[in-house]
Protein backbone atom coordinates (compact mmCIF):
# COMPACT_ATOMS: atom_id res chain seq x y z
CA UNK A 1 0.00 0.00 0.00
CA UNK A 2 1.36 3.37 -1.01
CA UNK A 3 0.69 6.43 1.10
CA UNK A 4 1.10 9.96 -0.20
CA UNK A 5 2.08 11.89 2.90
CA UNK A 6 2.08 15.19 1.00
CA UNK A 7 -1.65 14.89 0.38
CA UNK A 8 -3.72 17.00 2.75
CA UNK A 9 -7.05 15.52 3.71
CA UNK A 10 -9.56 17.95 5.10
CA UNK A 11 -12.35 16.79 7.40
CA UNK A 12 -15.03 19.31 8.31
CA UNK A 13 -18.04 19.47 10.57
CA UNK A 14 -21.33 18.33 9.06
CA UNK A 15 -22.82 20.86 6.65
CA UNK A 16 -26.59 21.02 6.09
CA UNK A 17 -25.91 22.20 2.51
CA UNK A 18 -24.60 18.75 1.54
CA UNK A 19 -28.16 17.47 1.15
CA UNK A 20 -28.99 20.23 -1.32
CA UNK A 21 -25.71 19.75 -3.19
CA UNK A 22 -26.59 16.08 -3.63
CA UNK A 23 -30.10 16.91 -4.85
CA UNK A 24 -28.75 19.43 -7.37
CA UNK A 25 -26.20 17.00 -8.81
CA UNK A 26 -28.61 14.05 -8.69
CA UNK A 27 -31.12 16.03 -10.75
CA UNK A 28 -28.49 16.73 -13.42
CA UNK A 29 -27.47 13.06 -13.55
CA UNK A 30 -31.08 11.88 -13.74
CA UNK A 31 -31.82 14.29 -16.59
CA UNK A 32 -28.76 13.11 -18.47
CA UNK A 33 -29.49 9.39 -18.02
CA UNK A 34 -33.28 9.53 -17.64
CA UNK A 35 -33.97 6.45 -19.76
CA UNK A 36 -31.37 4.31 -18.01
CA UNK A 37 -31.80 5.42 -14.39
CA UNK A 38 -33.47 3.23 -11.80
CA UNK A 39 -32.55 5.23 -8.71
CA UNK A 40 -29.83 7.47 -7.28
CA UNK A 41 -28.45 7.60 -3.73
CA UNK A 42 -26.42 9.98 -1.60
CA UNK A 43 -23.80 7.76 0.06
CA UNK A 44 -20.69 8.15 2.15
CA UNK A 45 -19.95 10.28 5.17
CA UNK A 46 -21.62 13.45 3.82
CA UNK A 47 -24.91 11.52 3.76
CA UNK A 48 -24.87 10.96 7.53
CA UNK A 49 -26.35 13.91 9.46
CA UNK A 50 -24.01 15.21 12.13
CA UNK A 51 -20.97 13.21 11.00
CA UNK A 52 -17.68 14.97 10.27
CA UNK A 53 -16.58 14.26 6.71
CA UNK A 54 -14.37 15.11 3.77
CA UNK A 55 -16.52 17.66 1.92
CA UNK A 56 -16.98 15.47 -1.16
CA UNK A 57 -20.50 14.40 -2.15
CA UNK A 58 -20.54 10.70 -3.05
CA UNK A 59 -23.33 9.69 -5.42
CA UNK A 60 -24.34 6.17 -6.42
CA UNK A 61 -26.60 6.00 -9.49
CA UNK A 62 -28.38 2.74 -10.30
CA UNK A 63 -29.02 2.13 -13.97
CA UNK A 64 -30.12 -0.56 -16.40
CA UNK A 65 -27.31 -2.36 -18.18
Return the pLDDT at 4.
53
Q: Average pLDDT per run of 10 along the chain, which is 65 residues long?
A: 65 96 97 94 98 96 87
Dihedral sign for Cα 33, 65, 47, 54, please: negative
Say if 35 falls within a structural domain: yes
As a whole number of angstroms, the distance between CA 30 and CA 6 comes to: 36
- As beta bridge partners, residue 56 has none
Say if 10 falls within a structural domain: no
Report which DSSP code applies to 49. T
Say if 1 falls within a structural domain: no
Return the pLDDT at 48.
98
Q: How many domains does the chain have?
A: 1
Return the pLDDT at 5.
63
- Domain that includes residue 41, residue range: 21-63
Say if 59 falls within a structural domain: yes
Say if 7 falls within a structural domain: no
Amino acid sequence: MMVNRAMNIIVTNYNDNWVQLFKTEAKKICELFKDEMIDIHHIGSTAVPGLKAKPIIDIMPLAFL
